[in-house]
């Protein structure tokens, strides 16, 4: 892995590269979860490189990892801001030429919004891992429970190993989701406007969402969509059931990249 940074408006974003540069091979672009960062993808990027031959690029969003912090509270539209304003600039700065977006949790929602709202010819397909398209009661209950773990257990110390400002990373995500106004979050309209193939994966035992998330995607989509429930996985199937997750992603990536060059 090659760690670096991108500067946007004088603010630094931590980046990670695995495998080939974008001028040598297509790039799988990773968008992390609400408490994630470059390092928390762990060995998944290296596995993607080995299985696909693509390069892999990831960055820690502002407020996460070693990236510069953001002011709190985050707006209710923070995922739309990332998808519409930040993602295009990061892809430009990284020199991405041909890509598949792979987003986990919040990152999946951001990838879906970007693919549905931005006419980005570089993006050949989208992989959504445990993405949220609307808010569910189970989702909010789990986010409330993790707040207790952060304030009363060891979650804060564990996250502090990865985030420059752990309070910004945790509070920015947790307090936004627990704000009653966030109940209105619903991106099914944007999902219906995605014009590239979509693969959506979800852990069969995901405490942050039910399979109805996948059903909503299937109903809203106007382009080819493949959905899979991953047995033995909770909210992070790419870590908890990596082989099964790769078994879905690898043929999808090969298919959409071949289609894009046909």
Residue 260 has pLDDT above 90, yes or no: no
For 17-56, how does the pLDDT look when each residue is reduced to its tens digit (9 = 90+)? Answer: 999 999 999 999 999 999 999 999 999 999 999 999 999 9
For residue 262, name the pLDDT band (cuts at 50, 70, 90). very low
> Rounded to an integer, what distance in angstroms lies between the CA atom of residue 177 and that of residue 182?
6
Residue 244 has pLDDT above 60, yes or no: yes
Residues in the chain: 262
Say which CATH number the domain at 248 has: 3.40.50.1820
> Rounded to an integer, what distance in angstroms lies between the CA atom of residue 132 and that of residue 78?
14
Total domains, the chain: 1
Q: Where is average pLDDT lowest: 164-178, 191-205, 227-241, 247-261?
A: 247-261
Domain range enclosing 40: 2-261
Determine the straight-line distance between the first and last CA of the chain, rounded to whole angstroms.
Answer: 31
Q: What is the pTM of this model?
A: 0.97
> Rounded to an integer, what distance in angstroms lies between the CA atom of residue 105 and that of residue 173?
12
Instruction: Report whether 133 contacts 142 (CB < 8 A).
Output: no
């Amino acid at each position: 892995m090659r760690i670096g940074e991108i500067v946007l408006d004088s603010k630094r974003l931590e980046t990670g590269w695995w495998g080939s540069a974008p001028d040598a091979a297509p790039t799988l672009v990773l968008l992390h979860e609400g408490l994630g960062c470059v390092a928390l993808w762990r060995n998944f990027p290296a596995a993607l490189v080995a299985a696909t031959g693509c390069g892999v690029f990831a960055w820690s969003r502002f407020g996460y990892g070693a990236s510069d912090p953001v002011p709190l509270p985050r707006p209710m539209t923070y995922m739309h801001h990332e998808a519409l304003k930040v993602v295009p600039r990061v892809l430009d700065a990284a020199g991405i030429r041909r890509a598949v977006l792979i987003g986990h949790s919040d990152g999946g929602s951001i990838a879906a919004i970007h693919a549905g709202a931005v006419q980005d010819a570089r993006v050949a397909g989208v992989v959504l891992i445990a993405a949220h398209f609307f808010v569910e009661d189970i989702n909010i209950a789990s986010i409330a429970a993790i707040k207790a773990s952060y304030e009363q257990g060891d979650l804060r110390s564990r996250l502090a190993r990865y985030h420059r400002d752990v309070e910004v990373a945790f509070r920015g995500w947790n307090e936004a989701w627990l704000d009653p106004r966030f109940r209105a979050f619903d991106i099914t309209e944007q999902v219906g406007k995605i014009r590239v193939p979509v693969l959506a994966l979800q852990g069969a035992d995901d405490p942050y969402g039910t399979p109805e998330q996948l059903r909503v995607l299937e109903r809203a989509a106007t382009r080819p969509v493949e959905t899979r429930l991953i047995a033995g996985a909770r909210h992070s199937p790419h870590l908890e059931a990596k082989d099964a997750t790769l078994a879905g992603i690898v043929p999808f990536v090969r298919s959409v990249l071949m289609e894009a060059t046909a």
